[in-house]
Amino acid sequence: MKILILFCDMLRANRLKTVNKDIPYQSTFDKWIRDFGGCTYTNCYTPAPDTPRSLACFYTGLYPKQNGCKTRLEWPKYYQNSENPTIFKLLHNSKYDTFTNFSPNELKTGVLNNNDLEIITNFKSFQEFYNSKVIDKRDRNSCYFLTLNDYHQCVEDYSSLKRADKKGQEQLIESFELFFKKYDKDLFDYIFIFSDHGCVLSDDYSRFKKNYFLLDDNRSQIFMHLRKKGDKSACKDNSLRTVMDIYPSIAEIINSPAPENLNGISLFDSNPHKFIVVEDASSFKPCLGMFNDIWRYKEKDFSYYLSIYDGEELKYENSEKAMNSQKVNIKKITEIVSEVSCSYEEISKRNGILKSYAELKKEYSIMCFSSGKKRNNYLKIYSYKIFSLFIKVIQKLYFNIFKFF
């Protein structure tokens, strides 16, 4: 048995006509996938739209709350819950040899925990793996997890301009064709092709009205494709799926019992997800002290967005669904988000305390001293505030000038 997993970092699913029917034309990537054969899952999402958290979901089949990687700075090497057996451990226990191509910098950043690193064979790059002929030499059960950073690199090279998407797709196809020219696709019993998250390109910014739209399909929808040996034609599946579903799918393929606490559902299961919860920080740049403050509850036909700062919004996939839909139970949705999310309950509590500060400050502003004597009026208070600010500016100028002498 040979399993191939091609991980395409950052590939935008909703820029492909295969996934998004509103795209007016088929790209080179669309045509390649069509000819490749297999099934594309057109309604697939990550609970955590960034590489460290999304890969942790892939490794464990669990939401961030369970797998331990809760924010964008929490990489699997340092934060992934060691009690959860990873997909690589599952393969190892089933006597599968696993090969990867994580770079030294990726490993240093924390893309993989040390326990997994001990049970796999890692090559330093795609080219090193490609030139190794390791696939030719294997007659044992094997899994090949190959990282392709081509799309992400094109987004950087073209500064997130619209053309970066086209260039990224073309570069991925070039890498695919190089690989499958050397190795026939039917050499592999199963081939998974997936992305961990999407991205924001230059022509997307005008759509941003509120922070929580960082969780829309541009970033949280992912590409997911599965080909079984012998598949000649292409098909689509619109059921609700997630990156967590690869874990139980592989468990089923290798006939290994999956942990009972998995959040993922096998792609071979006819009962897909009823909902998915996505969460992230509205502060796009990773920083110390960052926390999740935006959430998305996603069902097949609608999404419900929540934000500490922007409130809430219900959005249907199209107006026809909105007109014919039944009333959505917002209270129930909020309870689910609170249960599934690793942050909603705690951040909501802290936000409530912050709001109480404002009320407390308002109360203090009208209080007298304990003796009953009245405090300064507003005019005096703000006069002293201006004077205090003036003193601080003078002090800053003085110390800056003093440094030059």
pLDDT in tens, 235-282: 999 999 999 999 999 999 999 999 999 999 999 999 999 999 999 999
Q: How confident is the model at residue 213 (pLDDT cuts 50, 70, 90)?
A: confident
Q: How confident is the model at residue 207 (pLDDT cuts 50, 70, 90)?
A: low
| Per-residue pLDDT at 371 | 86
| Per-residue pLDDT at 287 | 83
Q: What integer is the mean pLDDT of 201-220? A: 83
User: Strand 121-122's sheet: what is its strand order?
Assistant: 121-122, 97-100, 142-148, 2-8, 190-194, 224-228, 38-41, 234-237
Under 8 Å CB-to-CB from 53, ≥6 apart: which residues? 46, 47, 64, 69, 70, 71, 72, 74
Q: Report the DSSP pairing between strands 241-242 and 44-45.
A: parallel
Q: Which of 14-28, 203-217, 294-308, 379-393 has the lowest mean pLDDT?
A: 203-217
Rounded CA-CA distance 230/233 in Å is: 9
Closest listed residue to residue 56, CA positions, set 38, 80, 34, 36: 80
Under 8 Å CB-to-CB from 285, ≥6 apart: which residues? none
| Per-residue pLDDT at 109 | 96
| Per-residue pLDDT at 39 | 98
Q: What integer is the mean pLDDT of 345-370? A: 79
| Per-residue pLDDT at 206 | 59
Token pair for residue 220? 């949280």
| pLDDT at position 319 over 80 | no
Q: How confident is the model at residue 288 (pLDDT cuts 50, 70, 90)?
A: confident
Token pair for residue 80? 């992934």
| pLDDT at position 33 over 90 | yes
| pLDDT at position 403 over 70 | no
| Per-residue pLDDT at 396 | 84
The pLDDT tens digits of the residues spanning 52-93 come to 999 999 999 999 999 999 999 999 999 999 998 999 999 999
Q: What integer is the mean pLDDT of 204-224? A: 85
Rounded CA-CA distance 339/196 in Å is: 23
Q: How confident is the model at residue 404 (pLDDT cuts 50, 70, 90)?
A: low
Q: What integer is the mean pLDDT of 353-369? A: 74
Rounded CA-CA distance 2/253 in Å is: 10
Instruction: Give the H or E element holding residue 41.
Output: strand 38-41
Comparing 363 with 180, the larger pLDDT belongs to: 180
Closest listed residue to residue 282, CA positions, set 95, 127, 71, 22: 71
| Per-residue pLDDT at 48 | 98
| Per-residue pLDDT at 320 | 56
Q: Residue type at 131?
A: N
Token pair for residue 106? 């990726």
| Per-residue pLDDT at 305 | 95
Comparing 355 with 6, the larger pLDDT belongs to: 6
Q: How confident is the model at residue 324 (pLDDT cuts 50, 70, 90)?
A: low
| Per-residue pLDDT at 401 | 76
| Per-residue pLDDT at 321 | 57
Closest listed residue to residue 303, CA positions, set 287, 319, 320, 316: 316
CB 125 within 8 A of CB 101: yes
CA atoms within 13 A on the CB side of 180: 16
Instruction: Give the H or E element holding residue 3.
Output: strand 2-8
**CA 275 and chain centroid, separation:** 16
Tell me if the domain spanning 2-270 has CATH number 3.40.720.10.
yes
What is the pTM assigned to this prediction? Answer: 0.90
The pLDDT tens digits of the residues spanning 135-187 come to 987 789 999 999 999 999 999 999 999 999 999 999 999 999 999 999 999 99
Share of the chain above pLDDT 70, in %: 94
Task: Tell me the pLDDT of the chain averaged across its residues.
Answer: 92
CB 71 within 8 A of CB 117: no
Q: How confident is the model at residue 328 (pLDDT cuts 50, 70, 90)?
A: confident
Token pair for residue 99? 């090969």
Q: Residue type at 306?
A: L
**CA 69 and chain centroid, separation:** 11
Q: Report the DSSP pairing between strands 142-148 and 2-8.
A: parallel
Rounded CA-CA distance 66/277 in Å is: 13
